[in-house]
């Protein structure tokens, strides 16, 4: 089993939570008022990780500890409330229209697009930072989405399983997309162990990962999860093409380039399957979930835009975007444990 250490706290809430998970019987402080702050997002990330690989020294049964679940529900209420306030859905919004909007490609460096910046101006240091932050999701790629499978039926379920089968390597362990991303990280001289860069990740990066767990763990949010998944698949192929071009320009290793070239081809197919079978299949059986699908699409864009703005501001200003400072790369090709 992968060894995962508890992150360093970022405020009174996350400090108290880490203490409780280490065996303290002390109470928890009031919740932060800012749903997007480091303290709340880290605490939520920690609670969600109990449902993935857990942490060293934390008993497995803490995953279902009633007090921790109550805390998670309170934090989720804050986070979801902020998202609903920031991403209002109009009565005229439909999933079909929102998906059409996703196919309008950003143009030029002023678009706020990370993939455009990395392709045209990025350095290997920039890409290392990008990969380190994305590793919080990509080293468990597709896992949050798998939770929606038992909540789907018919066309939507069959198509979702087909796409997930590809994400999990189509039966080959070395082709699992999480493994391919670890290979990319090794090519860039990054540490490849699961969760290694959580302390480096700003709240904006944690929020993009927490959103997936929030949507995946709640049956009531199955429509939002499908909307999020559709957003990823519709936008992945063109962005992956730009990122592959960036890595070639930077003379990165073949495994780094391969991760994105695989996604260029696979996600071009997945886009059609997700749109016409997963989304359409879900809404054919549950048309009342249309607004939830839109919410998932728009929320994904909202949180990704916040992260992109933070990274681009730092990089254009000649600064690192990581909380822990610049990365010192290891020997390329070395895999962590």
pLDDT at position 206, please?
98
Q: Is the pLDDT of residue 2 over 90?
A: no
Closest CA to 281 of 221, 236, 226: 226
Q: Is the pLDDT of residue 137 over 70?
A: yes
CB atoms within 10 A of CB 154: 12
Q: At what angle do helices 290-316 and 66-86 cross, to 10 degrees?
A: 80
Q: Which CATH number fits domain 95-316: 3.40.50.1820, 1.10.3720.10, 1.10.1740.10, 1.20.910.10?
A: 1.20.910.10
Q: Is the pLDDT of residue 109 over 60?
A: no
For every residue of the chain, which 3-state class applies, written as one string?
A: CCCCCCCCCCCHHHHHHHHHHCCCCCCCCCCCCCCCCHHHHHHHHHHHHCCCCCCCCCCHHHHHCHHHHHHHHHHHHHHHHHHHHHCCCCCCCCHHHHHHHHCCCCCCHHHCCHHHHHHHCCCHHHHHHHHHHHHHHHCCCCHHHHCCHHHCCHHHHHHHHHHHHHHCHHHCHHHCHHHHHHHHHHHCCCCCCCCCCHHHCCHHHHHHHHHHHHHHHCHHHHHHHHHHHHHHHHHHHHHHHHHHHHHHHCCCCHHHHHHHHHHHHHHHHHHHHHHHHHHHHHHHHCHHHHHHHHHHHHHHHHHHHHHHHHHHHHHHCCCCCCCCCCCCCCCCCCCCC
- Render pLDDT for 70-93 as a digit per residue (tens, 0 to 9): 999 999 999 999 999 999 998 889
What is the share, in percent, of the chain residues with pLDDT greater than 70? Answer: 96
- Render pLDDT for 313-326 as a digit per residue (tens, 0 to 9): 999 999 999 999 99
* Domain-wise residue ranges, the chain: 12-86, 95-316
pLDDT at position 337, please?
47
Q: Is the pLDDT of residue 330 over 70?
A: yes
pLDDT at position 107, please?
61
pLDDT at position 111, please?
65
pTM: 0.94
- Render pLDDT for 16-67 as a digit per residue (tens, 0 to 9): 999 999 999 888 899 999 999 999 999 999 999 999 999 999 999 999 999 9
């Amino acid at each position: 089993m992968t060894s995962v250490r508890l992150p360093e706290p970022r405020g009174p809430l996350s400090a108290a939570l880490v203490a409780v998970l280490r065996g303290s019987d002390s109470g928890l402080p009031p919740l932060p008022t800012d749903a997007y702050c480091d303290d709340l997002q880290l605490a939520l990330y920690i609670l969600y990780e109990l449902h993935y690989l857990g942490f060293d020294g934390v008993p497995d049964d803490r995953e279902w500890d009633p007090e921790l679940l109550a805390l998670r529900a309170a934090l989720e209420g804050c986070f979801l409330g902020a998202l609903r306030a920031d991403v209002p859905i109009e009565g005229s919004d439909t999933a079909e229209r929102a998906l059409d909007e996703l196919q309008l490609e950003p143009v030029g460096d002023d678009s706020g697009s990370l993939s455009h910046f990395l392709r045209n101006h990025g350095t290997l240091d920039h890409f290392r930072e990008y990969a380190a932050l994305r590793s919080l999701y990509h080293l468990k790629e597709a896992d949050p989405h798998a939770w929606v499978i038992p909540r789907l039926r018919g066309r939507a379920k069959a198509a979702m399983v087909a796409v997930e089968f590809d994400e999990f390597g189509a039966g080959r362990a070395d082709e699992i997309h999480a493994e391919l991303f670890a290979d990319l990280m090794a090519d860039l001289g990054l540490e490849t162990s699961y969760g290694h860069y959580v302390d480096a990740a700003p709240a904006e990066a944690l929020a993009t990962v927490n959103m997936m767990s929030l949507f995946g763990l709640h049956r009531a949010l199955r429509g939002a999860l499908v909307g999020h998944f559709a957003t990823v698949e519709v936008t992945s192929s063109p962005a992956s093409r730009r990122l592959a071009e960036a890595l070639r320009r930077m003379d990165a290793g073949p495994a780094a380039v391969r991760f994105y070239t695989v996604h260029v081809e696979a996600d071009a197919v997945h886009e059609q399957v997700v749109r016409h079978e997963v989304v359409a299949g879900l809404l054919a059986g549950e048309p009342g979930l249309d607004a939830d699908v839109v919410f998932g699409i728009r929320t994904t864009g909202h949180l990704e835009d916040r992260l992109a703005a933070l990274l681009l501001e730092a990089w254009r200003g000649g600064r690192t975007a990581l909380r822990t400072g610049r990365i010192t790369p290891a020997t390329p090709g070395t895999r962590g444990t």
